[in-house]
Amino acid sequence: MQDRKDSDSRKLLRRLKEILAAPGGGQDRLDQITHHIADSMGSQVCSIYLFRDAQTLELCATEGLRAEAVHQTRLRLGEGLVGRVARTGRHVNTADAPSEPGFRFMPETGEETFPSFLGVPIQRVGEKLGVLVVQCTDARLFSEDEVYGLEVVAMVLAEMAELGAFQGSQSDSLPLAHRFPLMIRGGTGQEGAAEGRVWLHEPRVVVTNPVGDDPESELARLHEGVARLRERVDSMVAAADMGGDGDHAAVLETYRMFAHSRGWLSRMEENIRLGLSAEAAVEKEQSAARARLEMAADPYLRDRLHDLDDLSNRLLRILTGQGSDTGAQMPDNPILVARNIGPADLLDYGRRLKGVVLEEGSVGSHAAIVARALAIPLVIHAERITTESLNGDLILVDGDQGIVHLRPEESVATAFRDKIAMQAEAQHRYADLRSLPATGTCGTTVQLYMNAGLMADLPSLEGSGAEGVGLFRTELQFLVRNHVPRRGELAGLYRHVMDRAMGKPVMFRTLDIGSDKVLPYMKPQDEPNPAMGWRAIRVGLDKRGVLRMQLQALIRAAVGRPLYVMFPFIADMSEYQDAHRILMQELSREQRLGHQMPSDIRVGAMLETPSLAFAPKKFFEMCDFISIGGNDLKQFFFAADRENERVRRRYDTMSTSFLSLLQQIIARCEDARVPLSFCGEDAGRPVEAMTFAALGIRRLSMRPASIGPVKHLIRRVSIAELRDVIAEAQAQGLTNLRRPVTEWLARH
């Protein structure tokens, strides 16, 4: 019985393969296919519905329903049983279709005489293409084997669609995969707009042979592929640092377990016995996992489904021999599309890229940090972008709104080009201001510095007109390597940075690792709350070797030039004192060793925790300068995770309470006569930057791209007048100053 079922299925698939190989139009093929499926399943009806656009399904071929309904009957995603199958990616099997919830009667098809209904999705690794339906006149439930068999057939149809089997003169009106325009709403990773062509970081695997000729040889190929996969995964797990037995080890172990899972393998074997090729068998399981992933809310389950997806990808690449390097030519104006990407890989692409779109990612991810350094727009959380796009597709990236337009309509593209042109014009205007000071009409000057951390940032020092680097995030150099850099390497690097700065000051912040910045070669600490955990100066003071090595490299890089060192995340005066002492010891040591000393040394602290605002006066007097790390300060002031999309926009920098904290810090710094700067992201936002200036902060450090717009604004208004506006709004008891400040700015 089992053997007969297998051989029927294989016969049907072979038939489909012949249809695929024979010349003919797409419509003709679809018609033949429905006929053969109905025949093989012993059903009176077989219909194929395909997506006309992302929301609409169209009856494209049928055996058994009225022929007039073809290309006339349409359903919305989620509408009727067919729409339900498409939306959920799961089959519907019923002996009494009309009594099913959501059943929709379509008189034009004449389907009232068919109570039993089985619909399965036609999908390919997360990409929905349509629905395949069989119906019978007798009220019966289809068996599990029949459901499974039809899913296998649907899998082959999906591959055929991918190979273009349903295109052709007669079927030009058919909806085609990867053809219709798509807008994806994600999140902002880095502002800016760009137009270009898709370049997939990991190109899709193309399965050219969905149907297997000989199950035995396909099974042998599968087993060989799985054995190689298991070997690779085992050695990957062995190579990873398994020292601690925390979450990391557990995650890798589960991954390994999946690779060795008997259930996964036997489902793929079953697919092959029913007639699929080894790679189509893998893809069928991958598609099922993707469909479940879309519906799964539980984070643990999602992670596991991701593991399965990842393993399937690896196995597919082994079976097809298709690696990342397919020999395709990178298009002009490439926009990188990836599920996720590491900082080193992104740096490798470098400034060739016009933009980046990620399916995952986060604002504080390393990829986002690199995209910022490269000043290219980045959209994150762009769901399904890797399955929907093909190499070379036209794509518009709107980093300001966090939106991507894939294969846009001409009208959208035109509007978008206007936006890019306007931005280019504005940049041109800002370039004229490059050598002018940021002085308000009242005569007050604000120094504008830039934030940096990678070599890729340095060209901006000249281009932006920054007066120096107000924050050099030294950890980024550690993040993009896969080993701890040596002292000599670091010294060379810091020297190069100072050379490029040509006498402009560079405030080197010592390593701020931990929290979101976990080094690839560091064992992840099993911390439930890394932002408040063992990070930054806490690591530096506990692991003095690394801090000392970094300080030595900085001293050696300065050779007769002034050196600025800034310690991150100081929460208590004693931490600053300890760090300062270590620096002084290293200076004496370097001097003893005969190295040339910096001409001057200035030491500062980053004020990133509310506690430091209340430190004793002595602390403020000890510092040569203080810089407010507003990103962290705000996160701890409001107790709202800066990485968490749900809460990070909930609290406003312009709230009176946060500004009052800033006012206190400003007053304490003025009292101790210590220079104060602000180097968080808010320094580059015009309304916030103007407010900080009006409250008395005289140095702002920001992304290079923000310097032009902020300077342009400062030069047009009176900072002194804004100070009065703010004082008045505060006296009135307003809880948030965004409105009065924005309105005042608009008037000027």
* Residue with smaller CB distance to Mg ion, 97 or 570: 570
Select the span of 84-92, 157-165, 331-339, 631-639 touching Mg ion (CB under 5 A). Answer: 631-639
Instruction: Pick one of 471, 582, 623, 697: the residue that binds ligand PEP (CB under 6 A).
Output: 471
- Rule CB under 6 A: is residue 189 a binding residue for ligand PEP? no
Select the span of 79-87, 98-106, 202-210, 627-635 touching ligand PEP (CB under 6 A). Answer: 627-635
* Residue with smaller CB distance to ligand PEP, 65 or 536: 536
CA dihedral 410, 411, 417, 422 (to 10 degrees): 170
- Checking DSSP bridges between strand 127-136 and strand 506-509, what pairing results, if any? unpaired
Three-state secondary structure call for residue 359: coil
- Rule CB under 5 A: is residue 629 a binding residue for Mg ion? yes
Which tokens hold the place of 419? 């936006």
Counting Cα atoms < 13 Å in the Cβ hemisphere of 101 gives 1
Return the closest-CA partner of residue 358 out of 402, 407, 300.
402
* Residue with smaller CB distance to Mg ion, 371 or 628: 628
- Rule CB under 5 A: is residue 632 a binding residue for Mg ion? yes
* Residue with smaller CB distance to ligand PEP, 43 or 474: 474
- Residues 580-619 as x/- pattern, contact with Mg ion by CB under 5 A: ----------------------------x-----------
- Rule CB under 6 A: is residue 457 a binding residue for ligand PEP? no
According to CB under 6 A, which residues from 677 to 706 bind ligand PEP? Answer: 679-680
CB of 636 to ligand PEP, least distance (A): 10
Select the span of 137-145, 272-280, 519-527, 625-633 touching ligand PEP (CB under 6 A). Answer: 625-633
682, 435 Cβ separation under 8 angstroms: no
* Residue with smaller CB distance to ligand PEP, 84 or 473: 473
Which is catalytic among the residues 36, 91, 366, 381?
366
Adjacent-strand bridge partners of 130 = 50, 122
* Residue with smaller CB distance to Mg ion, 386 or 451: 451
HEC secondary structure over 176-211: CCCCCCEEEECEEEECCEEEEEEEECCCCCCCCCCE
CB of 186 to Mg ion, least distance (A): 25
- Rule CB under 6 A: is residue 361 a binding residue for ligand PEP? no
Number of residues that bind ligand PEP (CB under 6 A): 10
Instruction: Pick one of 64, 126, 505, 629: the residue that binds ligand PEP (CB under 6 A).
Output: 629
Cα 698 from Cα 675, distance rounded (Å):
8
Rounded to 5°, the CA angle 355-360-364 comes to 75
According to CB under 5 A, which residues from 359 to 388 bind Mg ion? Answer: none
- Rule CB under 6 A: is residue 473 a binding residue for ligand PEP? yes
Look-up: residue for tokens 């281009």? 463
- Residues 586-615 as x/- pattern, contact with ligand PEP by CB under 6 A: ----------------------x-------
HEC secondary structure over 442-473: CCCEEEEEEEECCHHHCHHHHHCCCCCEEEEE
Q: Phi then psi for 652, rounded to 5 degrees?
A: -105, 135
51, 57 Cβ separation under 8 angstroms: yes
Decide which of ligand PEP, Mg ion, none touches 111; Cβ closer than 5 to 8 Å per partner kind: none
Decide which of ligand PEP, Mg ion, none touches 93; Cβ closer than 5 to 8 Å per partner kind: none
Adjacent-strand bridge partners of 701 = 449
Instruction: Pick one of 64, 630, 704, 708: the residue that binds ligand PEP (CB under 6 A).
Output: 630
Q: Which helix (H) or strand (E) holds 378?
A: strand 378-380
According to CB under 5 A, which residues from 117 to 136 bind Mg ion? Answer: none
For the chain, how many residues are written?
A: 748
CB of 631 to ligand PEP, least distance (A): 3
Residue 169 neighbours by CB distance under 10 Å: 8
Cα 569 from Cα 575, distance rounded (Å):
9
366 is catalytic: yes
Cα 420 from Cα 417, distance rounded (Å):
5
Which is catalytic among the residues 60, 136, 623, 679?
679
Decide which of Mg ion, ligand PEP, none touches 473; Cβ closer than 5 to 8 Å per partner kind: ligand PEP
Adjacent-strand bridge partners of 600 = 562
Decide which of ligand PEP, Mg ion, none touches 120; Cβ closer than 5 to 8 Å per partner kind: none
Which tokens hold the place of 674? 């210590």
Decide which of ligand PEP, Mg ion, none touches 711; Cβ closer than 5 to 8 Å per partner kind: none
* Residue with smaller CB distance to ligand PEP, 81 or 368: 368
Q: Phi then psi for 394, rounded to 5 degrees?
A: -70, 135
Burial class (CB in 10 A: 0-12, 13-18, 19+), 510: buried
- Sequence-distant (6+) residues with CB within 8 A of 70 are 59, 60, 61, 62
CB of 483 to ligand PEP, least distance (A): 22
According to CB under 6 A, which residues from 631 to 660 bind ligand PEP? Answer: 631-632
- Sequence-distant (6+) residues with CB within 8 A of 280 are 155, 156, 159, 207, 209, 210, 211, 212, 271
According to CB under 6 A, which residues from 32 to 91 bind ligand PEP? Answer: none
405 is catalytic: no
654, 722 Cβ separation under 8 angstroms: no
Task: Report the catalytic residues.
Answer: 366, 679
Q: Which residues bind Mg ion (CB under 5 A)?
A: 608, 629, 632
Q: Which residues bind ligand PEP (CB under 6 A)?
A: 471, 473, 512, 608, 629-632, 679-680
